[in-house]
Amino acid sequence: MKKNVTISLALTLGVGLLAGCGNSNNDSNVSPSASATTEPGASSTESAAASELSGTIIWATHRTELVDTDLKRYVEKFEAKYPGTTVKIEGLKDYEQTIRVRMAGNELPDVLSLVETTKADLPKFYEPLDDLGLNDNIYFKDYNTYEGKLYGITQQAAINGLVYNKKAFETAGIAEPPKTLDELFADAEKLKAAGIVPMATSFKDGWTLQYWTDPAEFIYGSTNLRNDKIKTDTPFTVDGPYGQGLGILKQLYEKGDLEKDIYSANWDQTQKDIASGKTAMMYIGNWFFSNLVSAGLPLEDIGFAPLPYDNSGTYKGMMRNDWAYAVSSTSKNKPLAKAFVKFMLEESGDEADHMFISPLKDKKQDFPQLTQFMSYNPTMLEAQSISVEVTAAENKMQFDPFKFIQEATVGKLQDVFNGYNKKWKAAKEAASK
Amino acid sequence: MVNNLSYRQQKTILIILFLLVPLTLLGLFSLYPAVYLIYLSFMSWDGFSPDKTWAGIANYKDVFANKEIWNAFSHNFVYLGWGLLQNAMGLMFALILNSRLRGRNVYRVVLFMPYIMNGVAVAYMFNYVFNSEYGSLNTLLHAVGLDSLAISWFGSPKVVNHALGFITLWKFMGLNMVIYLAALQSVPSEIIEAARMDGATRFQSVRHVILPNMMRVIELNLFLTIIGTLEIFDLPFLLTKGGPLGASDTFLTKTVEMAFKFNNFGVASAMSLTLIAFVIVILSVQRWVTRRWGD
């Protein structure tokens, strides 16, 4: 009996393997015809570019929670506009890992969220998007550009600022958001007196802390801070940008302005607490609004202002990119894939539905929080991609930016920085060899 | 055609044919990946780019020079400590539940139940139990007035590994107990009776008659426990992500981090092989100790 089972198992596996081979053969049989129909200029009878679009593409996305709702709606809209086309959505839970495996197997989906590689590898995996005609109109153009060619367009731009619950501020008797660093600490005292936790961090989860390096870049005056590390052996100094910038979070921690037990403060709880007014503020991107709204906070109760990083009363704001749309270099139907990317950016209505900032510069963005933010006239900085050398050295030293911020917040700053400087110096030397 | 072959040849062909499938599967899914792992440990590879470069033993040097990795490995020994306690308790419960006890089957089921539960579910359950503000454990401690004991279980670096170690004990003690129970029932009752007639107390008969008869099974349980604790991954990964500040990182969470976060598959492979080597060393020590004790 047992033997039978083993044999049949072996047979099924064997057949499965053979079937697998068959499938990929089929794929490659399909490909020439598919690409023939879409070859630009191949069909002289058809003049309109739109009518040439046909066939099927696969769109892999990290936005799994929206796959069956909004994203499906956008795809239907696209298919209605270009009859005869099909877009299959594939929501991937562990997005980055899954795509990396497929990268190694050379099986990327047609349209995807760009997974970062070294810049020199971009042409290996992705198709240039310069012919979409969006080059002069997008934020973060340089982020995924290599040798003058554009390989990815960010799906949204996010502005980081102080998101706060207006009701919580009212309860504590605070009329408007803090204008200086001293006011920030004073407001925190008022909030504590009213029994409200002043600042949320989701400290345990770590990734929510990444925005706290913004003040360091404000003080440095440029988003080159992380890349400029390569010029020095001791990038982390207590009285330098890192020390002063992260010092803001550290002071909040030492004054007891963060969650009571920061080690169990997590993302889920943070959203609930800000929505309910138990916690007042968080320094995070504007995309956080829609989370708060779904956690039950009415949109009009959300305030959004730049974070004061010193006592001068001038503001700076940080704009960060997100996952980028990209087309795979091995796609069998590039024209359709590109048309879809263009559609998603220009016509889908994605940005209005989810209250984020479109990467297209000429799109009108109007929601009250953004108007409020801009009314402070902040100088806006654009985030930059991390250079190849810095990435190599950081990976060599196993630099985890989240953990770095956690350690700097709770540890003795000088000791933490000394440790990281030492590792940085060694890694930089090893990586440059 | 078959008739032309001798019986011997037919037999050989048949054996080869039958072996072909399992051996191919073994090679494909087990040997090839293992050999590939060894190969990768000597290469420098970021996990996706087409080219790998020869690194020699540099990866192993990196592993042994990295203090953080060994610091994380030391956390595994906390789990090992809890694992030994888990074995002792499993044995104790097995001895108790092997006697004529009212409702012993109910107790057996209750104690074995945690092992059946899905690991992720267990992790989330204990996430609730140990939560410092809303958790049931701290609520209980506050209710009985032990406020000073109601600490942040996953938040303090000194306690976090013990909290996680306790969860492994809770989950796997039932398995140990069931294996010990089976072994206890296979100890011949004649010897125990003979010992009792010679005037041995209960403790003496356990110490000198029952335990030596179960040596093989104790060894097996220790073997499972040691492997489990040295390769612990799911609980810290799900519950603390190695935090606070790396205090609950284990060798395997570090390995996964090395491969998938820092894109260093070469060093990660070298770490995996180092772990295998350590498991072998520690298991040999354990075997040697239990053998000596058994004799």
Q: Report the alpha-carbon distance of residue A353 to residue A48 in Å, rounded.
A: 31
Residue A126, pLDDT above cutoff 90: yes
Residue of chain A nearest B132, judged by CA positions: A264
B256 in contact with chain A, both atoms CB, cutoff 8 A? no
Query: Number of C-alpha atoms within 13 angstroms, CB side, residue A178?
Result: 28
| Model pLDDT for residues B151-165, shown as the tens digit of each residue | 888 888 889 999 999
Give the DSSP letter of residue A126: B
**Dihedral of alpha carbons A294, A297, A300, A304, sign:** negative
B137, B262, B265, B267, best to mutate vs chain A, most A CBs in 10 Å: B262
Side chain identity at B82, as an amino acid letter? Answer: W
- Which of the four pLDDT bands, split at 50, 70 and 90, describes residue A51? low
Among candidate residues A51, A157, A155, A50, the one with its CA nearest the CA of residue A111: A155
Of A13, A100, A410, the CB nearest to B48: A100
Answer yes or no: do A403 and B241 touch at CB < 8 A. no
User: Measured between alpha carbons, how far is B161 from B132 in angstroms, rounded to an integer?
Assistant: 15
Dihedral sign (CA A159, A162, A165, A167): negative
Which domains are delineated in chain B?
Answer: 2-40 (no CATH), 66-294 (1.10.3720.10)
- Six-digit token pair at B238? 């799900």
From chain A residues 245-284, the ones with a CB under 8 A of any chain B CB are 260-264
What distance in Å separates the CA atoms of residue A146 and residue B111, rounded to the nearest whole number? 61
Q: Where are the alpha helices (DSSP H) in A209-360?
A: 214-220, 225-228, 241-254, 267-276, 288-294, 334-346, 350-353
Higher pLDDT, A216 or B241: A216
Q: What is the pLDDT of residues A54-72, one digit of tens each?
A: 899 999 999 888 888 899 9
Binding-face residues of B in 214-243 toward A, CB within 8 A: 240-241, 243
pLDDT at A33 exceeding the cut of 80? no
Residue A161 bridge partners (DSSP):
A284
Residue of B nearest to A259 (CA): B133
With CB atoms and an 8 Å threshold, state whether B21 touches A11: yes
**Whether A118 and B154 lie within 8 Å, measured CB to CB:** no
Q: What is the mean pLDDT of residues A405-432?
A: 90
Q: Please judge whether A205 and B241 are an interchain contact, meaning their C-beta atoms are less than 8 angstroms apart.
A: yes
Tell me what the mean pLDDT of segment B30-57 comes to.
89
How, if at all, do strands A302-305 and A197-200 pair?
unpaired
pLDDT tens digits along A86-125: 999 999 988 988 898 888 888 899 999 998 887 888 898 9
Give me the pLDDT at residue B295, please. Answer: 64
**How much is the pLDDT for A31?**
36
Least confident of A163-167, A301-305, A318-322, B44-48: B44-48
Q: Say yes or no: A24 contacts chain B, CB-CB below 8 A.
A: no
Compute the average pLDDT of residues A218-246: 92
Task: Enumerate the residues of chain B whose CB falls inside 8 A of the CB of residue A278.
Answer: none
Which pLDDT score, from 0 to 100, does residue A16 have? 39
**What span, in angstroms and rounded, lies between the C-alpha atoms of B163 and B180?**
25
A357-369 mean pLDDT: 83
CB-side exposure of A317: number of CA atoms within 13 Å?
23
- Taking the CA of residue B54 and the nearest CA in chain A, the distance in Å comes to 14
Closest CA–CA distance from residue B231 to any residue of chain A (Å): 21
DSSP state of A138: B
C-alpha distances out from residue A254 to A211, A249, A259, A414, Å:
19, 9, 11, 16
Residue A56 DSSP class: E
Write out the DSSP string of A151-173: --EES-EEEEEEEEEHHHHHHTT
CA distance B96 to A86: 66
Number of other residues whose CB lies within 10 A of the CB of residue A294: 10
| Domains of chain A with bracketed CATH | 51-156+323-348 (3.40.190.10), 158-321+367-432 (3.40.190.10)
pLDDT of residue A42: 38
Residue A34 — pLDDT band, cuts 50, 70, 90?
very low
| Distance between CA atoms of residues B93 and B108, nearest Å | 9
pLDDT bracket for residue A264 (50, 70, 90): confident
Check whether the bond before B244 is cis (ω within 30° of 0).
Answer: yes
Identify the weakest region by mean pLDDT among A103-107, A215-219, B254-258: A103-107
B22 interfacial to chain A (CB closer than 8 Å): yes
Return the amino acid letter for A58: I
Q: Which of residues 49-78 of B touch A (CB under 8 A)?
A: 49-50, 66, 68
| The pLDDT of residue A142 | 85
Of B50, B152, B264, the CB nearest to A261: B152
Query: Which of B177, B161, B182, B184 shows the shortest CA–CA distance to B115?
Result: B177
CB contact under 8 A, B132 and A400: no
Higher pLDDT, A287 or A42: A287
Query: How does pLDDT run across B50-91, given as a tens digit for each residue?
Result: 788 898 899 999 899 888 899 999 999 999 999 999 999 999
Q: CA-CA distance, B147 to A236, in Å (whole number)? A: 40
- Tokens representing B65 are 């020079």
Per-chain mean pLDDT for chain A: 84
What pLDDT sits at residue A177? Answer: 93
Does ipTM come in above 0.85? no
Backbone angles phi, psi at A89, to 5 degrees: -90, 135
**Minimum Cα–Cα distance from B48: chain A residue:** A104
**Mean residue pLDDT across chain B:** 89
Query: Which one of A264, A279, A407 makes the best mutation probe of the B interface by having the most chain B beta carbons within 10 Å?
Result: A264
Partner A contacted by B44 (CB < 8 A): no
**pLDDT mean over A232-237:** 92
Higher per-residue pLDDT: B46 or A412: A412
CB contact under 8 A, B155 and A206: no
d(CA A221, CA B242): 34
Inter-chain Cβ pairs, chain A and chain B, closer than 8 A: 69
pLDDT of residue A136: 84
Q: What is the mean pLDDT of residues A324-332?
A: 93
- Concatenate the DSSP letters of all residues of A326-384 into one string: EEBTT-S-HHHHHHHHHHHHHTS-HHHHTT-B-SBTTS----HHHHHHHTT-PEEEE--
Contact B48 A410 (CB under 8 A): no
Burial of B85 (0-12, 13-18, 19+ CB in 10 A): middle
| Cross-chain residue pair B25–A10, CB shorter than 8 Å | yes
Residues 387-416 of A with CB under 8 A from B: 395, 398, 400, 403, 406-407, 410-411
- As given in the structure block, the two tokens for residue B79 are 């789990």
DSSP chain B: -GGGS-HHHHHHHHHHHHHHHHHHHHIIIIIHHHHHHHHHTTEE--SSSS--EE-TTHHHHHHHH-HHHHHHHHHHHHHHHHHHHHHHHHHHHHHHHHS--TTHHHHHHHHHHHHHS-HHHHHHHHHHHH-TTT-HHHHHHHHTT-GGG---TTTSTTTHHHHHHHHHHHHHHHHHHHHHHHHHHHS-HHHHHHHHHTT--HHHHIIIIIHHHTHHHHHHHHHHHHHHHHT--HHHHHHTTT-STTTT--HHHHHHHHHHTS--HHHHHHHHHHHHHHHHHHHHHHHHHHHHHH-
Q: What is the pLDDT of residues B195-211, one digit of tens each?
A: 988 988 888 888 888 88
Q: What is the pLDDT of residue B179?
A: 94
Residues 350-389 of A with CB under 8 A from B: none
Q: Name the percent of chain A lying above pLDDT 70.
A: 88
* CB neighbours of residue A231 within 10 Å: 9
